[in-house]
Structures are given as structure tokens and as C-alpha cells.
Amino acid sequence: MITNTKLVERFFRYVKIDTQSSEEAEEQPSTAKQRALADLLAKELEELGATVDYDRDHCYIYAAVPGDGPEEKALGFIAHMDTSPAVSGAGVKPRIIEGYDGKDEILTTEDFPELLDHLGEDLIATDGTTLLGADDKAGVSEIMNMLEYFSTHPEISHRPIRIAFTPDEEVGRGTENFDVSRFGAKEAYTVDGGKLGVLEYECFHAAAARVKISGRSVHTGDAKNKMINSLRLAMEYNAMLPEAETPEHTEGYEGFYHLDKIRGDVEETVLDYIIRDHDREKFAARKKVMLQNADFMNRKYGSENVNGINIHGKELVQVEIRDQYSNMAEVMKDHMELITRAQEALRSLGVEPVTEPIRGGTDGAALSFMGVPCPNLCTGGYNYHSRYEYASIQEMEKTAELLILLAQ
């Protein structure tokens, strides 16, 4: 039974705005359409009595709500406005599945056994043509719900509150122009997780790698000892990586290499990878493997030739690696009181807390290294970055209650 209709209405309003970010853009925000949601949120924040500091150039919203106690004790809450470029976020048609019974045509328990845990709950899903945007508009909605609660219950005491809504988190740039001084909190929570009760303060060390492979295109009828097929070399490069160390074969603390995108032709092929590991030394070793594989192929083919073809000492394989974020556990180990508070709040709501490593990252990872320890809270969303994304209304309601308790 839905008990917080305003929370659901707010979520529906936000997910209908396309805020998909882009991996290809150099500017921030990576897509101008993210400003549509930012403009709406800035207006709604002001209506709720918050003081809004809107960095429209880079699409960051900072907001402050006074409370009891000194301002230096302000508690921050952070969520991101963009949605993943993996699946379209345009024309989202959210729908409510009341009293889920496992028989939905799109969300089946055969495909997603964890849905058995949601029997009888009210779920929000899409029509199967787009993602939903619960990542992270569920978090945005829950934060806004908290602020509305305090604005309509002035008799309830709470700490000074700071809010930040960020762009481009899904493309690893959520804190690129984040201003810690404008944010104004020395500790915070990102509201960007999944299952109710799960708390996260460990994440991957992360890097992006781009492998460029050069070739030489010649008519196939006259290609002998002339053609260099960059596509075939790309296949060889990828085959050198450990077959079992991919996302589909790993879990928990196990790291991986993930071939995220490949595009090319005979003349040139580009492979985009992400590299992940919770352990810093293993992470460094993974990056080294990417470089060593390129060096091996360049020596294999460059020192002599490619199948009798003179390549004049040219490097056929080039690798560029860019670090994205680090495991925030290295910072959080000195700020575990944030986890303890969240655990106590969850138990008071009748939810048993669980701590798990994030097999990904959040804005909180980078912010923790910028001086704002920032573990991650649940939102009640599932199957992120896919057409099968859904959110449990009951879990969203509990998360909204969790934020209120933490602010108190």
C-alpha cells in the first residue's frame, strides 16, 4: 500500500525529464538537457525554503537549510541528476505495478529471481523501451521528500542540512567541478545505492582505458603482404586479457577488465575498457597488464613485420589510461561513525543493515578524497542501466524515513 503519494509523484515528475549524460563530450555538463531537471530542482528547493546556490555553468546545485546546532556540524546529502548513456532515457513512461505477483510481462521472476523478495510490493517500472532513471532520481526524490518533511514540520529538530545535486556521475565526472566550499558540509551521504538496508563505504579503484590499433586498408584482391587488419589485431589484444576476469564472471571483491565499446574498420579500431579492483596493488597490476600487452604486440609485429609487411617501426597498438576514482574505504576507515549512525537508524525502522562493497563507484568516492567522507545509502532501486530497471515504492518510502532520521 502506497503511503507517500507525494514521493511517488515527485519521482514520476523527475524521471520523465531526459537527463542522459554523454561519454564523448568534453564540456560539463556533458549534455545541456541535464539543466532542465536542475532548473526544476532549484525552483522546488527555493519553494521548500532552502537557500540555493546554482552553478548553472557546470550544472551543480548546492542548497542549504538551517537547523539546530552550529553550521560547521551540517550534514550533507548528495544525489546525481544524470542517467546512464547505456540505455535511452528519453520518453520514459513510468508505470506502477500494484501488489507485484511475479507475472509482469517485463519483470519476470524467471529472469530476475530477486523479484521474489518483492512479491506484494508496489513497483515502479517502465514500458520496457527505456531505462527508468531510479539511478539516481530515486535518491533525488528521497532527499527532496526529506526537505519537504522538515519544511512542513518546523517543530521537528534537525541538524543544518546541505544538499548537492550533481551532473555526469554516470560518465565518471560527477565531481569534476564540485566546489566543496560551496557545498558547506564536512560529512555527507550519497543517496545512490540499491536494495533497502545496504550501506556501502568500499568501492572499486577505477580507470578507463582506450586502446587504439592502427591498420592499413588495401583492396582484398590485392592484399597479400600489404593489408594490416586492425580488427584482427584488436581481437588478438582482447584475447590476451584473462577470460574469467570480466564482470559476468566476478562478484564481491573480485576485480575485472570490461570491454565496454569497440568500433573500427580495417584501417583503425578503438577499444574502450574500464578497469576495476578494490585492492590498490591489484588495480595497479591490471593497468600494467594493459600496457604490457600493447608493448608485447608492438614488439611482436614492429620489430620485424606483420606477416611479411613492412610497417617501418610504427607502433600499431597505443594505450591511454585515465584514473577515474579510488576506493573510499581508505578514507572511510577513519569515519566509521557515519556507518554506525546509518545502521542504528535502519534498525529503528525495522530494517537490518548490511554493508557491502560497491561494484562500481559514486560521487562519494571522489568526495571522500576531497575532504568530505561520504558513504553511500540505499534508494530502493534495482536493475540499473537497463530497460528492466525498477524501484520498490515501499523501499523508497523507508529510505525517505531513513534520511529524516539521519538529519535529526
Please tell me which residue in 18, 44, 169, 401 is annotated as part of the active site. Answer: 169
Tell whether the model's pLDDT for residue 312 goes beyond 70.
no
Percent of residues, the chain, with pLDDT higher than 90: 90
Neighbours of 220 (CB within 10 A): 10
Q: What is the CATH number of the domain that holds 46?
A: 3.40.630.10
Cβ partners under 8 Å of residue 7, min gap 6? 141, 142, 145, 393, 396, 397, 400
Same domain, 100 and 179: yes
Q: What is the CATH number of the domain that holds 212?
A: 3.30.70.360
Of 276, 297, 325, the position where a domain reaches its end is: 325
Of 293, 325, 357, the position where a domain reaches its end is: 325
Same domain, 20 and 140: yes
Distance, in Å, from the CA atom of 277 to the CA atom of 280, rounded to the nearest integer, reads 7
Residue 189 pLDDT: 98
What secondary structure does DSSP assign to 24-80, as a single string? Answer: S--SSSSSTTHHHHHHHHHHHHHHTT-EEEEETTTTEEEEEE--SS-GGG-EEEEEE
Q: Which residues pair with 55 in a beta bridge?
A: 60
Instruction: Quote the DSSP letter at residue 376.
Output: E
Distance, in Å, from the CA atom of 280 to the CA atom of 262, rounded to the nearest integer, reads 27
Same domain, 282 and 337: no
Residue 313 pLDDT: 58
Q: How confident is the model at residue 353 (pLDDT cuts 50, 70, 90)?
A: very high
Tell whether the model's pLDDT for residue 302 goes beyond 80.
no
Cell of 281: 596493488
Tell whether the model's pLDDT for residue 226 goes beyond 90.
no
Q: What pTM does this model have?
A: 0.88
Distance, in Å, from the CA atom of 83 to the CA atom of 19, rounded to the nearest integer, reads 6
Residue 62 to residues 15, 58, 76, 179: CA-CA distances in angstroms? 21, 12, 10, 9
Tell whether the model's pLDDT for residue 311 goes beyond 70.
no
Same domain, 162 and 26: yes
- The annotated binding site for Zn(2+) is made up of 80, 135, 170, 192, 385
Phi/psi of residue 60, nearest 5 degrees: -110, 140
Of 269, 298, 325, the position where a domain reaches its end is: 325
Number of domains in the chain: 2
Same domain, 365 and 300: no
Whether 127 and 369 have beta carbons less than 8 Å apart is answered as no
Cβ partners under 8 Å of residue 286, min gap 6? 255, 257, 275, 277
Domain span at residue 198 reads 5-203+327-407
Residue 126 to residues 114, 121, 170, 388: CA-CA distances in angstroms? 18, 16, 20, 7
**Residue whose C-alpha cell reads 545496504 in the numeric block:** 198
Q: How confident is the model at residue 2 (pLDDT cuts 50, 70, 90)?
A: confident
Same domain, 302 and 372: no
The reply to whether 57 belongs to the active site is: no
Per-residue pLDDT tens over the stretch 142-185:
999 999 999 999 999 999 999 999 999 999 899 999 999 999 99
Instruction: Quote the DSSP letter at residue 294.
Output: H
Per-residue pLDDT tens over the stretch 61-102:
999 999 998 899 999 999 999 999 999 999 999 999 999 999
Same domain, 178 and 54: yes
Same domain, 68 and 209: no
Whether 19 and 89 have beta carbons less than 8 Å apart is answered as yes
Please tell me which residue in 44, 82, 148, 277 is annotated as part of the active site. Answer: 82
Amino acid identity, residue 374? C
Distance, in Å, from the CA atom of 18 to the CA atom of 201, rounded to the nearest integer, reads 29
- The annotated binding site is made up of 80, 135, 170, 192, 385
The reply to whether 9 belongs to the active site is: no
What secondary structure does DSSP assign to 248-278, as a single string? Answer: GG--TT--EEEEEEEEE-SSEEEEEEEEEES
Same domain, 252 and 389: no
Same domain, 57 and 149: yes
Same domain, 181 and 209: no
Whether 141 and 10 have beta carbons less than 8 Å apart is answered as yes
Label residues 254-281 b or e (16+ Cβ within 10 Å = b): bbbbbbeeeebebebbebebbbbbbeee
